[in-house]
Amino acid sequence: MRPKIYLYGDSITEESFGDGGWGASLSHHFSRTVDVVLRGYSGYNTRWALKVAERTFPPVESGGVPPLAVTVFFGANDACLPDRYSAFQHVPLHEYKQNLHSIISFFKKRWPEIVILLITPPPIDEDARLRHPYIENPSGLPERTNEAAGAYAQACISVAKECGCPVVDLWIKMQECPDWKQAYLSDGLHLTQAGNRIVFEEVVKKLKEQGTSVENLPVDLPLIANIDPQDPLKAFQDY
């Protein structure tokens, strides 16, 4: 049975199996070695993610293979401003950190050897958020700001350091590109194909640093190159 890599997050994770998405790219990258399993929930924050974690990740059955890794990609919704139209998604910064700690503890208790990879929220293009509101926005103010997203990104990095977990600093990485707003964001928050590529590359790099890479994972069932045309069934004797 193949091991799994879980992707746990909000809409940026839920959409990651779309055309050019970072989750779909991961699944292709790890084909024949790992099953990449999507657990993305649009609009969710860490408060809600913690609430549903027990139901979302059932224990491995006896004799099953524990997952290799899980990405935890929350914060974009937690960082919604408390006095704007998405206030119901807002989670105070101190609680966001506590929730991340609790989510990490949940995974470590369930699967002690699992690699837990945190991903910070991306930067925010505030002008684009005004052009692409989710609901009517009579205030004329964006529901998110890049400053707030940066504060939650720093909190995510702090939790990763405190817990000894690897982390992708997406907030900084994307802003290294001068044209990041147009290149990486489709609506000021969600990712373009180029933005998805950044996440994919950073996740692959971080997982490899933790020892999870296609180079050191066994392939599921014989490759066609290893099947003898004169005696094809011989390759399946050990399966």
For the stretch 1-58, pLDDT in tens is 789 999 999 999 999 999 999 999 999 999 999 999 999 999 999 999 999 999 999 8
**Between 85 and 76, residue with greater pLDDT:** 76
pLDDT digit string, tens, across residues 170-184: 999 999 999 999 999
Q: Would you call 76 helix, strand, or coil by DSSP?
A: coil
Q: Is residue 231 predicted with pLDDT exceeding 90?
A: no
Higher pLDDT, residue 138 or 210: 210
Q: What separation in angstroms does the CA of 37 have from each of 34, 107, 117, 186? A: 9, 15, 15, 24
The pLDDT, as a whole number, for residue 166 is: 98
- pTM for the whole thing? 0.94
Task: Choose, from 16, 78, 90, 190, the residue flagged as catalytic.
Answer: 190
- Catalytic residue check, 11: yes
Does the active-site annotation cover 139?
Answer: no
Residue 61: what are its φ and ψ, rounded to 5°? -65, 155
Average pLDDT over residues 88-112: 97
% residues pLDDT > 90 (the chain): 82
CB 152, CB 118: distance < 8 Å: no
Q: Residue 61 has what pLDDT?
A: 73
6, 181 in Cβ contact below 8 A?
no
Rounded Cα gap, residues 31 and 78, in angstroms: 33
Please give the structure tokens belonging to residue 202.
């950073």
Task: Spot the catalytic one: 11, 102, 186, 213.
Answer: 11
Question: What integer pLDDT is reported at residue 14 of this predicted model?
Answer: 98
How sure is the predictor about 139, in pLDDT bands with cuts at 50, 70 and 90? Answer: confident
Please pick, among 35, 169, 187, 220, the residue that the annotation labels catalytic: 187
Contact by Cβ (8 Å): 106, 56: no
User: Other CB atoms closer than 10 Å to residue 157's CB: what's the count?
Assistant: 17
- Return the pLDDT at 63: 66
Torsions phi, psi for 181 (to 5 deg): -65, -45
Mean of pLDDT values over 150-177: 98
* Mean pLDDT value across residues 49-68: 88
Q: Name the token pair of 160.
A: 């990763």
